[in-house]
Amino acid sequence: MAKEKTTMSVSEMRHMLGLKKTDSYWLVHKNLFKTIIVANQMRIVIASFEKWYANQLKRSKVNGPPPGAELRAYSLSVKEMAKLLGISTDTAYTIIKRDKIETFEVDHWTRIRKDVFERWYKGQTKYRTPEDQERDKALEETGYTIPEIARMLLVPRDVIYSLLASPKNQGVFETFVVAEKKRVTKQSFEAWYQSQHRYIKLEDRSAEEQQEISQMKKQKERPRLMVDPNKQSYSIKETAILLDVAETKVRKMIRDGELEAKKYGTRYLILKAEIEWWLLQQKMDNDTEGGRSLWHPSYNEETDITSSTCMMQRTGNASRNGKPTKRWRMQSVGNRKSNTTSKWEPWSFPPAERWRN
In a domain, 145, yes or no: yes
In a domain, 209, yes or no: no
Note whether 28 and 59 are same-domain residues: yes
pLDDT at site 159: 93
**Last residue of a domain, which of 225, 245, 276?**
276
- Percent of the chain at pLDDT > 70 equals 77
Residues 91, 99: Cα–Cα separation, whole Å: 12
pLDDT at site 174: 93
pLDDT at site 136: 84
Q: What is the mean pLDDT of the chain?
A: 79
Range of the domain at 157: 137-202
Nearest residue to 35 via CA among 21, 49, 14: 49
pLDDT at site 90: 92
Q: How confident is the model at residue 227 (pLDDT cuts 50, 70, 90)?
A: confident
Residues 188, 170: Cα–Cα separation, whole Å: 12
Note whether 77 and 62 are same-domain residues: no
Asked whether 35 and 45 are in contact (CB, 8 A), the reply is yes
Note whether 58 and 99 are same-domain residues: no
Note whether 62 and 77 are same-domain residues: no
Average pLDDT, stretch 43-50? 93
- Res 158 pLDDT > 60: yes
How many C-beta neighbours within 10 Å does residue 61 have? 12
CA 306 to each of CA 40, 207, 332: distance values in angstroms, whole numbers, following the listed order: 91, 77, 16
Q: How confident is the model at residue 133 (pLDDT cuts 50, 70, 90)?
A: confident
- Residue 118: CATH number of its domain: 3.90.105
pLDDT at site 287: 62
CA 85 from centre of chain: 20
In a domain, 228, yes or no: no
In a domain, 226, yes or no: no
Average pLDDT, stretch 112-141? 88
pLDDT at site 281: 81
Partners of 35 in the beta sheet?
44
pLDDT at site 340: 41
pLDDT single digits (tens) 246-297: 888 899 989 888 888 988 888 899 998 888 888 888 877 776 655 555 555 4
In a domain, 93, yes or no: yes
pLDDT at site 183: 93
- Res 116 pLDDT > 50: yes
pLDDT at site 331: 40
Task: Report how many domains make up the chain.
Answer: 5
- Res 344 pLDDT > 50: no
**Last residue of a domain, which of 252, 276, 300?**
276
Any idea what DSSP says for residue 312?
Answer: B
In a domain, 31, yes or no: yes
Q: Measure the CA angle with vertex 122, ends 116 and 123; round to 5°.
A: 90
In a domain, 41, yes or no: yes
